[in-house]
Amino acid sequence: MTAHAEIFPRAGLRRLTGIELRKMADTRAGFWLLVVIELMAAAIVTITVVAGKASEQDFHGLFKGALLGVSVLLPVLGILAVTSEWNQRTGLTTFALVPARGRVIAAKMLATVGVTVYAVATCLATAAIGNLFAGGSWDLPLYALAHGALLELLGILGGVAFGLVFLRSALAIVMWFVLPTAWSALGAIHALDKPALWLDTNRTLMPLVDGGMTGTAWAQLGTSTALWLGAFLVVGLWRLRRTELK
Amino acid sequence: MDGGAPRPDADAMIAVDHLTKRYGPQLAVDDISFYCEPGTVTGFLGPNGAGKSTTLRMICGLTPPTAGSATVLGTSYRALDNPGRRIGVLLDASAQHSGRTGREVLALSARVLDVPRSRVDELLERVGLARSAARKRVGAYSLGMRQRLGIAHALLGDPEVLILDEPANGLDPEGIYWMRGLLRDFADGGGTVLLSSHLLHEIEAIADELVMIADGRIVARGAKHELLAASGVIVRGLDAAELHVALAEADLSATPGADGALLVDADAEAVGRVAARAGLVLLELRPAENGGLEHLFLSLTREEALAA
């Protein structure tokens, strides 16, 4: 028993973000997912150097390839960051210690920025090693780096939003891969071609990698992101406020 | 056996006020009120599924109540800035990430609470999980080890209040003895303990106050010694049914237990006279003492089993 008159301030957002970042890497699943992300980048770069088109065999081309591969896996990390609180029932502890639930989610979202930095650095490093063998140009426009980082960040944030809506790891991961594909299939119908240009992230994210970010492309990216990321986040956060943790 | 209406008390560290939780048509917790005061251990007792865990989760702000309210340290739990520094909570020892080590679980929470890292080792040592056990992943822990980790976790922030749901589950007899001492010391130092159990004998030895619930409702509440003193007599007749009828005709209320004996809210002489007048053979007639509480508890558990 210590003196009870003491005031104990709540943990700041920076501290919570550090904790959430650590929680993404300190479990067996989280650790291996981070390793697999590196292996993925390395595999894509290796294949491109050995058997890719000549136009892809430079620093920028290898970087793009690595980015695309990593962007498939990164959202899973975002999903698990949320759903493990339910699947592993750690939410019982997490939200008992931090009753302001929105702050926990905010910290998780800020932590995804850290993971994005890690992912982009991995892509840069593997692309650089690959280019030592490929002997291509070292030219990498700054916008390509920024757009690449944005691609990864939107992906992992999308994972967080999906996790919040579905709350279960398996369900959220399946939905993450099935829903956009089903959406794209709908967009292939001629009548839905126009809306799909604005709402299908499989299409709107591509210019970030291919380098065609025109004004229209930004508007289309913004619209589709607002739908997938924004709407899912709003629904997920709204429900989290009242939901029961068991 | 109700110890009377709960007293609104300014000193109450935990105050549960007409708390109710409804799931669809089912009332999981039905208008529960009780108070826990500093320096006491309150045993929250009831059969499985009686609503104990739901009540504790409502106190900790994890389950929104349908009606009523609960306060801890005079405020709602969710209004506390850093609740772990004032209230130690163990709601489910199994609710830990199986892929994390025991030490890591405590280290993460130590960061949230802002307590020094040395506190983690100190507590691992105290609950008997130091060295190799601390480096194992929680998935490889026995239930008893998870309980020890959970108790260490609850104590991490050096709190004034402990809220523990079934902490003795999975502990071996030596572990239960250890926990009993730990909670007694905590309460003797001015702390407040609320712990639940579905086993009377686990709680009987530690608790000062008892709150007994069944089917979401409080069936007995009060100081343990009062509940034990007011428990009437236990009587066993050759013909239990006839004895029950004779007692009822004499306006003595009798509760059948699981073993054919009756718990009667009267003294031994009154019961003996009823039996003599009816010409019934008695096999046993004794003050209920703690057996009375057990009797009540068993009858509740049995009703539960019959209803299922």
The pLDDT tens digits of the residues spanning B32-63 come to 999 999 999 999 999 888 999 999 999 999 99
Are residue B283 and residue B170 in the same domain, yes or no?
no
Mean pLDDT over residues A202-212, rounded? 86
How far is residue B189's CA from residue B161's CA, in Å, rounded to a whole number? 11
Asked whether the beta carbons of A229 and A154 are under 8 A apart, the reply is: yes
CATH number reported for the structural domain that contains residue B150 in this entry: 3.40.50.300
How far is residue A132's CA from residue A120's CA, in Å, rounded to a whole number? 18
If one compares A39 and B8, the residue with the highest pLDDT of the two is A39
CA nearest A84 in B: which residue?
B97
- Interface contact A92-B92, CB threshold 8 A: yes
How far is residue B40's CA from residue B4's CA, in Å, rounded to a whole number? 18
Are residue B217 and residue B264 in the same domain, yes or no?
no
DSSP character at residue A245: P
If one compares A52 and B67, the residue with the highest pLDDT of the two is B67
Domain positions in chain A: 13-242
Are residue B157 and residue B181 in the same domain, yes or no?
yes
CATH number reported for the structural domain that contains residue B257 in this entry: 3.30.70
pLDDT value at position A200? 84
Could you list the residue range(s) of the whole structural domain that residue B264 is in? Answer: 232-287
First vs last Cα of chain A: how many Å apart? 30
How far is residue A115's CA from residue B213's CA, in Å, rounded to a whole number? 48
In a domain, B304, yes or no: no
pLDDT at residue A4 tops 60: no
Helix (H, G, I), strand (E, B), or coil: what is residue B216? coil
Residue B42 pairs in a beta bridge with B194, B209
Mean pLDDT over residues B56-71, rounded? 97
Are residue B104 and residue B190 in the same domain, yes or no?
yes
DSSP assignment string, B178-191: HHHHHHHHHHHTT-
In a domain, B305, yes or no: no
In a domain, B34, yes or no: yes
In a domain, B133, yes or no: yes
Are residue B248 and residue B210 in the same domain, yes or no?
no
Q: Which residues contact B126 (CB under 8 A, 6 or more apart)?
A: B152, B155
How far is residue A237's CA from residue A231's CA, in Å, rounded to a whole number? 10
Measured in whole angstroms, the distance separating CA A52 from the mean position of its chain's CA atoms is 26
Radius of gyration (Cα) for chain A, nearest Å? Answer: 20
Lowest-confidence segment of A211-215, B120-124, B168-172, B174-178 by average pLDDT:
A211-215
Give residue A186's pLDDT band: very low, low, confident or very high (50, 70, 90). confident
In a domain, B4, yes or no: no
Q: Which residues of B touch A88 (CB under 8 A)?
A: 95-99
Are residue B236 and residue B224 in the same domain, yes or no?
no
What does each C-alpha distance from A233 to A109, A157, A225, B31, B189 come to in angstroms? 11, 9, 11, 36, 46
Mean pLDDT over residues B127-144, rounded? 94
Q: Which residues contact A20 (CB under 8 A, 6 or more apart)?
A: A81, A104, A107, A108, A110, A111
Are residue B224 and residue B242 in the same domain, yes or no?
no
Last residue of a domain, one of B186, B206, B228: B228
Q: Which two tokens stand for residue A208?
A: 């970030």
Last residue of a domain, one of B228, B247, B274: B228
Helix (H) or strand (E) holding B223: strand B217-223
Helix (H) or strand (E) holding A171: helix A169-187
Helix (H, G, I), strand (E, B), or coil: what is residue B236? strand
Instruction: Identify which of B114, B137, B158 has the shortest CB distance to residue A2.
Output: B158
First vs last Cα of chain B: how many Å apart? 25
- Residue B189 contacts A, CB cutoff 8 Å: yes
Are residue B198 and residue B239 in the same domain, yes or no?
no
Are residue B51 and residue B188 in the same domain, yes or no?
yes
Strands B254-256, B282-287: parallel, antiparallel or unpaired by DSSP? Answer: unpaired
Q: Which two tokens stand for residue A218?
A: 């930004």
Amino acid found at A170: A
Q: What's the farthest any 2 CA atoms get from each other in chain A?
A: 71
pLDDT at residue A83 tops 80: yes
Mean pLDDT over residues A97-109, rounded? 96
Mean pLDDT over residues A24-37, rounded? 93
pLDDT value at position A1? 44
How far is residue A152's CA from residue A72's CA, in Å, rounded to a whole number? 9
- Interface contact B62-A29, CB threshold 8 A: no
Residue B262 pairs in a beta bridge with B235, B256
pLDDT value at position B226? 78
In a domain, B196, yes or no: yes
- Interface contact B189-A1, CB threshold 8 A: yes
pLDDT at residue A237 tops 50: yes
DSSP character at residue B94: T
Are residue B97 and residue B237 in the same domain, yes or no?
no
State what percent of residues in chain A have pLDDT above 90.
76
- Total domain count for chain B? 2
**Residue of B21, B54, B82, B135 best to disrupt the A interface, most CBs of A under 10 A:** B82
Are residue B218 and residue B237 in the same domain, yes or no?
no
Are residue B163 and residue B265 in the same domain, yes or no?
no
* Beta strand residue intervals within B3-135, DSSP E: 14-23, 26-36, 41-45, 67-72, 87-90
In a domain, B28, yes or no: yes
Mean pLDDT over residues A64-85, rounded? 95
- Residue B238 contacts A, CB cutoff 8 Å: no
Q: Which residues of B touch A30 (CB under 8 A)?
A: 99
pLDDT at residue B262 tops 90: no
Last residue of a domain, one of B193, B228, B263: B228
In a domain, B296, yes or no: no
Helices (H), chain B: 52-59, 102-113, 118-126, 132-135, 143-155, 173-188, 200-204, 224-229, 240-249, 268-278, 289-307
Chain B residues 129-148 within an 8 A CB cutoff of chain A: 137
How far is residue B232's CA from residue B289's CA, in Å, rounded to a whole number? 8
Asked whether the beta carbons of B3 and B49 are under 8 A apart, the reply is: no
